[in-house]
Amino acid sequence: MGKMVGSATNPRAVRPVAFPVNADSNSGVPGDQTTVFAAVGSDGGSMAGTEFGCREDVERLLAEKMRGKNRTDYKGKSEQMIEYIKRLRICVRWFMELEDGYMEEQAKLRTMLGSEEERHGELELQLRAKMDELDATTRELREQNSSLQEKLTNEELEKLAAVKSYENEREARVAAETSRDALSTDLERVTQEKKRISDQLKMLQETNRRLQEYNTSLQQYNSNLQNEANKNGETISRFQKEKSVIMESLTTARDLANSLKSQLDASRSSQQKAMKLKEELRKEVSCLRIELQQVRDDRDHFSTQVQSLTLEVDNYRELTKKSTKDLDNITLKIIALEKTCSSQRVKIQFLEDQLAASSEKLKRADLTTIETMTEYEELKTTVDHLQDRLTEAEFQIVEAEKLRKKLHNTILELKGNIRVFCRVRPLLPDSDLSDTDREVVSYPTSIEYLGRGIDLTHNAQMYNFTFDKVFNHEASQEDVFVEISQLVQSALDGYKVCIFAYGQTGSGKTYTMMGDTGCAEQKGLIPRSLEQIFQTSQSLQCQGWKYKMQASMLEIYNETIRDLLSPGRPSTLDASGGLCKQYTIKHDSNGNTIISDLTIVDVCSIKEVSLLLQQAAQSRSVGRTQMNEQSSRSHFVFTLRIFGVNESTEQQVQGVLNLIDLAGSERLAKSGSTGDRLKETQAINKSLSALSDVIFAIGKKDEHVPFRNSKLTYLLQPCLGGDSKTLMFVNISPGASSVGESLCSLRFAARVNSCEIGIPRRQIQIRCSDSRLSYG
């Protein structure tokens, strides 16, 4: 192959400069932000700015087509494509910032919603407590009011009874005095009628008996008055006790408001009874008057003896004196009762004032309740508004996530569904020291090929190669993973992703893929990819996504599939390499690969996958050759199946991540393999040759693609076409002793890099590579 020299007459000197412009500096909503990007050329001029303010701007950018001066203007198309990719990156960056703003606003809205719900619950509890307290106070005040009304009615009835008895006594005394005067004036007439009265003595005796009975009734009445006076004394003492009780109950006056109303009803019924009793007393007074009239008539019609009448008058005077004394005592008692009633009126007035104050307090409580209910309605309206905003934000986040996936996939398709990275193995202190006197690997410093080109010197001739990305021997594991992290994200988005390492034995393929799991900085692509997948899946849980992961690990040894996770698998293999179990490869209509009887393990964390990787590493086939003490003698395939479901939007994604560590390619003359190692080397070289045949057939769009020529190519069939994403890492050794093998690996990778597979985005790179290959 001739010397490959790249053309650098018109290097791309246009570099993008991005700066955000906020339409409203006081706005906290991410949707109000507009990002303007301008591309500045090396000659100081500036291209037109690109503004992203809404989804239509992004769709307009995606719908933009590349146009050149003519069909052969590849350089113009290349510059337009590069600028278009940069604008897409800027658009994705703007979109990620917009998504972060939405997530922050959603978190704020959820925090506000939670605080408002807590405040609403506290206000509701306080309102219920106040209403219960007011109800209890109202009931107690009503009960107390009823009891006080009943007591007042009883006291008024007793007072009326005492007043009526006093009036009766006074009328009787007046009648007695009138009778005495009448008897004095009629004394002479009574003397003249002495004879006639003597005839009627018996009748007069009967009248005397009746008077005695009347006197007896008066005595009984006086005794009743005395008993009532005693009862009134007891009532006064009871009132005094009740006074102390009422003074104590003033502190609980709120509890008596409800009882006052019920007692008021009882007092009304008692008043009706008192009215009936009053009518009965009036009837008795009328009867007494009738009897008194009968006595007068008897006095007029009958005369009594002067002596008996005088005795009777004296007796009657004595009785009158006693009645007067009793009446005076009763009057004093009535005065005392009136004082008690007046004090009770004061107490009742005080209680009525308290009842009015309680009523006013109840009205204020009602106003407070109304204000609380109004505030509650306002809070409820605020909560509903926040809930609507939260729903809208969640919908915008879902739409933004869809647009992000679309932009992300568009960028990867523009980069190419099959890409080639080259990595130069880091220098080893023992084996590479002897090769430092002659550097065989160099890197171009021109802007066009910086980070993409690699030069290899062999037999005083320089060979130039260009790939999608070139990592020198100083590149760290983190630098390498940053470049392939977007492919790992595509697996979470539901695409089939395949990353495999190719190169000679001892070129660092296993180090690139696995690394040193004991050191965080030395971890390879497989553990770092798994960490990113699990971390991203956990961060997407807040958006409603739930993921299920299934892992499987196998190796292809001498065109035979071996399950590295099978229980009871021996750590060493016999010379013949025979297996007791056969595995078959099948592809369904959806492009999914199914291997019969292969062990598939559900994994939920990076720790579980790490244990599986350790188990597989112990079971993998390795051997010693002249080129490498621990050479991988089989193709190691790690497959992670990803199933994602969004419960809120009912979206489903199904992605596959294949991470492959190919066995090292080697020349038989240099490896010195014999026996089983010779068979292994022949099988490895045959499968790698079949892989190149498949890629070249796809690139030439042949009708027949020889996938079945090798178990490796048949296994990778779904990942080498359609919308699948494939990345090949070509690993080379920096030592001069391995320059021949490195040249073969780079030539193979250059042929893969020149193939158009999937979306034709590689026309520019292919032409550049062809132009470099044309020189020699």
- Report CA Rg, the chain: 58
Helices 201-249 and 257-301, axial angle in degrees (round to 10): 170
- Distance, in Å, from the CA atom of 533 to the CA atom of 551, rounded to the nearest integer, reads 13
Per-residue exposure over 471-495, b if at least 16 CB sit within 10 Å of its own CB, e if not: bbeeeebeebbebbebbbbbbbbbb
Give the DSSP H/E element, type plus range, for residue 86. helix 74-185
* DSSP 8-state assignment for residue 47: P
Phi, psi for residue 253 in degrees, rounded to 5: -65, -25
Asked whether 35 and 54 are in contact (CB, 8 A), the reply is no
CB count in 10 Å sphere of residue 221: 16
Q: What is the DSSP letter of 727?
A: E
504 assigned to a ligand binding site: yes
510 is in an annotated binding site: yes
Q: Is 114 annotated as a binding residue?
A: no
Determine the Cα–Cα distance for residues 657 and 530; give it in Å rounded to an integer: 10
Q: Would you state the structure tokens that stand for residue 364, as one six-digit string?
A: 């204020």
For residues 615 and 565, the answer to whether their CB atoms sit within 8 Å is yes
Length of the chain equals 776
Structure-token match 């021949």, residue found:
740
Q: Which residue has the tokens 């790698």?
A: 688
Cα(130)–Cα(734) distance, integer angstroms: 84
CB neighbourhood size of 319 (10 A): 15
Q: What is the 3-state secondary structure (H, E, C) of 370-430?
A: HHHHHHHHHHHHHHHHHHHHHHHHHHHHHHHHHHHHHHHHHHHHHHCCEEEEEEECCCCCC
**In this structure, are strands 622-623 and 651-661 parallel, antiparallel, or unpaired?**
unpaired
- On whether 722 is known to bind a ligand per the annotation, the reply is no
CA distance 163 to 462: 142
Strand partners, 725: 497
**Position 141, amino acid:** L
Tell me: is residue 45 an annotated ligand-binding position.
no
User: Annotation-wise, does 507 bind a ligand?
Assistant: yes
The pair of structure tokens assigned to 26 is 């006081």
The answer to whether 555 and 637 are in contact (CB under 8 A) is: yes
The tokens describing 43, both together, are 């000659």
505 is in an annotated binding site: yes
Cα gap 46→35, rounded to integer Å: 17
For residues 521 and 515, give the distance between their C-alpha atoms in angstroms, rounded to a whole number. Answer: 9
Question: Would you tell me how many other CB atoms lie within 10 Å of the CB of residue 80?
Answer: 17
CA distances from 32 to 28, 35, 262 (A): 8, 10, 68
Q: Which residue type, as a one-letter code, is found at position 551?
A: A
Q: Which residues are annotated as a binding site?
A: 503-510
Q: Which residues are annotated as a binding site for ATP?
A: 503-510
